[in-house]
Amino acid sequence: MATKLEYIWLDGYKPTQSLRSKTKIVSDFGGTLEECPDWSFDGSSTEQAPGGSSDCVLRPVFICKDPGRLDAYLVMCEVLDSTGVAHESNGRATIQDDDNDFWFGFEQEYFLWDPETNKPLGFPAGGYPAPQGPYYCSVGANNAYGREIVEEHLDLCLEAGLNVEGINAEVAAGQWEFQIFAKGAKEAGDQIWVARYLLERVGEAHGVSINWHCKPLGQLDWNGSGMHANFSNTTLRTCGSKDIYDKICEAFRPAVAECIAVYGADNDQRLTGKHETASIHDYSYGVSDRGASIRIPLYTVQKGWKGYLEDRRPNSAADPYKVAAVIIKTVKSAKL
């Protein structure tokens, strides 16, 4: 029997990479990652190779069922150059978490975008809806726009076996969020990218674009979109020490520039100190503080300083691989 394998990868566009994919037909497929061969593509068409030496290699790293197609699987891939070395665009290869000690939960925000009006769903063609306030976790046709797309996407993710932990309408009209958690930084990134891919495909079917930009409405009084990164390792989960939490949070202070460099393009437009963000020019942390760079969840304190931290600075278009990589590097740099 023929099986469709949808190979998915990230291109080399800067400052924000895009998803690419193509279908491979195989026979007698048993559904395992080990059965997925390396494949190649034209890197000169994706900003990843020159025309005179254009082959790049796709190496499968994650597989799940494709619930939107018959006899099909989704195969997330890393990109290697023609010599088999990780391509410079390959953020996954920079993650130092081979023992899966780091757990990540990403809160992925996005806008459902009407390509005809070039505005979010719920925005009238000639102006703006009522100010934000009633849209967060909203119910009803006056405030919740595009729910059928969001629900369809959720069902596809769950059928694919992705570990989605929830969805909700967000603060701005036409803005939504899904959350994914995984034990292991690489798998968390894999699942976010596959979920993004599935959302793009649902949008195609409905004639709606997915806007990942962190501030698509500019400096109007509307929230931007983030990808808050909740993270922990064994130390954070078990230490029971405010002092250790403070030392880990302080380790992020000298790494601000390194973090911001991979937390998504145009983040200066979003990190203004308004709309539940810290300023891009500052660094702060605090218990239950959604206006801080890093929030120490109340849960962590109530559990006796055993839990996780939330970096609120990554934006909606950031690469979760690169976000995880810099967070892991910074946490490991803390002098405990």
Tell me the per-residue pLDDT of 143-198, one tens digit each, with 9 for 90 and over.
999 999 999 999 999 999 999 999 999 999 999 999 999 999 999 999 999 999 99
My answer on whether 240 and 199 are in the same domain is no
Q: Supply the range of the domain harboring residue 176.
A: 103-225
Whether 126 shows a pLDDT value over 90: the answer reads no
Question: How much of the chain exceeds pLDDT 70, in percent?
Answer: 100
Q: What is the CA radius of gyration of the chain?
A: 20
My answer on whether 281 and 302 are in the same domain is yes
- What was the pLDDT predicted at 202? 98
98 belongs to a structural domain:
no
- What was the pLDDT predicted at 276? 79
pLDDT digits (tens, 9 = 90+) for 212-241: 999 999 878 889 999 999 999 999 999 999
My answer on whether 242 and 336 are in the same domain is yes
299 belongs to a structural domain:
yes
Whether 275 shows a pLDDT value over 80: the answer reads no
In terms of DSSP H, where are the helices of 226-319?
Answer: 234-238, 242-251, 256-260, 267-270, 298-302
- What was the pLDDT predicted at 53? 83
Domain count, the chain: 3
Nearest Cα residue to 182 out of 105, 283, 69: 105
213 belongs to a structural domain:
yes
My answer on whether 208 and 165 are in the same domain is yes
Tokens of 273: 């100190």
My answer on whether 44 and 83 are in the same domain is yes
- What was the pLDDT predicted at 295? 97
Q: Where a domain ends, among 191, 225, 259?
A: 225
> Cα–Cα distance between 141 and 121 in angstroms, integer?
12
Q: Residue 4 — very low, low, confident or very high, per pLDDT cuts 50/70/90?
A: very high
pLDDT digits (tens, 9 = 90+) for 276-315: 788 999 999 999 998 999 999 999 999 999 999 999 999 9
My answer on whether 208 and 245 are in the same domain is no
- What was the pLDDT predicted at 1? 87
- What was the pLDDT predicted at 106? 98
- Angular region, 34: left φ>0, alpha ψ -120 to 50, beta rest: alpha
pLDDT digits (tens, 9 = 90+) for 33-84: 999 999 999 999 999 999 888 999 999 999 999 999 999 999 999 999 999 9
- What was the pLDDT predicted at 218? 85
Looking at residue 57, which CATH number applies to its domain?
3.10.20.70
